Amino acid sequence: MKVLLVEDNDDLRHLFARVLRKRSCIVCEAENGCVALRLVREFKPQLVITDLMMPELDGIQLITLLKHSPATAAIPVVAITADMTPEMEQRARMAGAADFIEKPLDIPTLLERISLYAGS
């Protein structure tokens, strides 16, 4: 499975990428939403995992742009965030997030959720 991982914290992004690669995922990393928008067109991921709170272009804005483009609208997006308020979850889902996971991430939970989209 091809996964675009969008996370502004370098240590977390590298950790998540390493875990996903051990599960045979092909991972492309982006440090923010602007970089992710450039990479999504050439990498053509089957899943996008994005942090919601990032500089430049946040996760909500990224999800909105992906879902409004015919070329990327069908790609499932999993939102990850430390802000687990009902309002943030509602914003992410309204933007088009297929799933919402709390940070700090529990690796088994992350892998379980990702497996849901393996057939997408």
For residue 119, the model assigns a pLDDT of 65
Taking only the tens place, the pLDDT of each residue in 80-114 is 999 989 999 999 999 999 999 999 888 898 899 88
Amino acid in position 91: R
Neighbouring CB atoms inside 10 A of 24's CB total 7
For residue 110, the model assigns a pLDDT of 87
First to last CA, the chain: 9
d(CA 83, CA 105) in angstroms, rounded, equals 12
Residues of the chain where predicted confidence (pLDDT) is lower than 50: none
- All domains of the chain in start order, with CATH: 2-116 (3.40.50.2300)
